[in-house]
Structure 1
Amino acid sequence: MSKPVILCVDDESVVLDSLKIQLKNAFRDAYSYEMAESSDEAWEILEELCEDNSHVLVIVSDWLMPGMKGDEFLIKVHQRFPKILKIMLTGQADMEAVEKAIEQASLYRCLSKPWNSEELITTIKSGLTNYQYSQNYEQTSGDLC
């Protein structure tokens, strides 16, 4: 069985590189890490992972991106995959967008850029623990992808 996946979405490659390094340092080989530079690319990755029966546990998404904004993307994800843990990482989201994501995408947390690595890792760990994904993702895979 393939490893569960953490997907990061941001239009800045330097942000994605930094996230990948921080996640790998914290979680080592426990997860696979996918990076996307747009919501369209992220959606394609989600579709491919589903076809491969891979389980996406966490999405960390920027808010301000070309095309679809992060709150809209996370709402779309939530409609199809409600149990994926959704975190927004942004320096520019307004409160209305964050509230919309909380209400319509079940946003777990919004972190500000520049982010603190420890806070990001703690947020992911607590989210996975709260939702019991780390132990139960196989039993609930129909909702996780």
Structure 2
Amino acid sequence: MTEAVILCVDDEVMILDSLQEQISRHFGDRFLYEAAESGEEALEILEELNEEGINIVLIVSDWLMPEMRGDEFLIRVHQQFNGITKILLTGQADQEAIERATQEANLYGCIYKPWREENLIEIIKKSLKLA
């Protein structure tokens, strides 16, 4: 079976831990889970996984991060890697950034902080077409 990875990106470690914990609790060993604290770190992880032939199926990325905002990061991902579903996680993204990510990064959806676990899981299931 091909390994499939869900990558979470947020500059706040507490948020990253919470995201990974909730997602892995629900999906268990169906996926591998990776985390990055910045867009740059996430791009490095994506490059490594891609070189190893590991399939990245989903990225859940924060919007407001230092150096590279989430919409910019997801646009770069879209340009470099095919077929990754992208969800933006935000407490303060402006509508323009969300629309830009939708247009230029094929953004699947947006989750607003603070999120509810059942909403997070539901959007992931829908985005990955899981029952």
- TM-score per shorter chain, which class? over 0.9
Q: TM-score, structure 2 length as denominator?
A: 0.96
| Equivalent residue letter for 1:29 | D
Deviation, structure 1 residue 111: 0.6
Superposition pairs for residues 1-12 of structure 1, below 5 Å? 1-12=1-12
Provide the C-alpha distance between the structure 2 equivalents of 1:38 and 1:106, rounded to a whole number of angstroms.
20
Aligned to 1:109: 109
Residues 1-145 of structure 1: matches in 2 within 5 Å? 1-129=1-129
* Superimposed CA distance per residue, residues 12-52 of structure 1 (whole angstroms, 9 cap, x where no aligned partner): 00000001110111000000000000000000000110111
User: 2:30 aligns to what SS in structure 1?
Assistant: coil
CA distance in 2, matches of 1:2, 1:67: 33
- Cα-to-partner distance string for 1:58-90 (whole Å, 9 max, x where unaligned): 000000000010000000101122310000001
Please report the RMSD computed on the Cα atoms of aligned residues, expressed in angstroms.
Answer: 1.0
Aligned length: 130
Q: How far has the Cα of 1:2 moved from its partner?
A: 4.9
Aligned-residue sequence identity (percent) comes to: 58
Name the one with the larger strand percent.
Answer: 2
**What are the ranges of 5 or more consecutive residues in structure 1 without an aligned counterpart?**
135-145
CA separation in 2, counterparts of 1:49 and 1:95? 31
Gap regions ≥5 residues in structure 2: none
* Alignment deviations for residues 81-140 of structure 1 (CA, whole Å, 9 cap, x no partner): 2310000001010000000000101100011000111111110110111xxxx7xxxxxx
Scaled by the length of structure 1, the TM-score of the pair is 0.87
Q: Which amino acid aligns with 2:87?
A: I
CA distance in 2 between partners of 1:2 and 1:20 (Å): 20
Letter in 2 for 1:72: E
